[in-house]
Amino acid sequence: MKTIKLGLALLALSTVPAFAHDKHGHGHESFSAGEPGDPTKPARTIEIAMSEMDYAPSRIEVKRGEQIRFVLRNVGKEDHEFLLATPKENLAHAEVMKKHPHMEHDDPNGVRLAPSKTAEILWKFTKAGTFEFSCLIPDHRDYGMVGHVTVK
């Protein structure tokens, strides 16, 4: 009986890494702002420039069900992030980032970019509401590096 319990315990532990999306265990099973986009379907492209404590544009409107290809360019002199979620989720994540400032994200709704780098995020907005994108590198969000997406 002990052998069976040990085997089940080891099996349970072996499945944990499959659910982790980054090295600090911040995996997401669902996303508040929608879902990762489908590259085989059309998308509207929105370019966002990230610089010191600013996104341009910082306000975006989309239709529910619309797929957006965000082209993100870090035109600043520091690393910056784009993390799409609710304000509540981003504030909670920002607290974790204060303890782990070099945390690397491996989620489809976020990216960290070094200066002069570009990345893309393909996102389908399936839920109506107001969401935000922000930079969660310590102090960046506090200094105003926040943008908003309104989904109608």
Residue 4, helix vs strand vs coil: helix
pLDDT mean across residues, the chain: 82
For the beta carbon of residue 17, count every other beta carbon within 10 angstroms: 9
Mean pLDDT throughout 96-100? 78
Confidence class for position 99, pLDDT limits 50, 70, 90: confident
Mean pLDDT throughout 92-98? 80
pTM: 0.76
Q: Is 83 exposed, middle or buried (0-12, 13-18, 19+ CB in 10 A)?
A: buried
Mean pLDDT throughout 80-104? 83
Burial state string for 27-51 with b = 16 or more CB within 10 A and e = fewer than 16: eeeebebbeebeeeeebeeeebebb
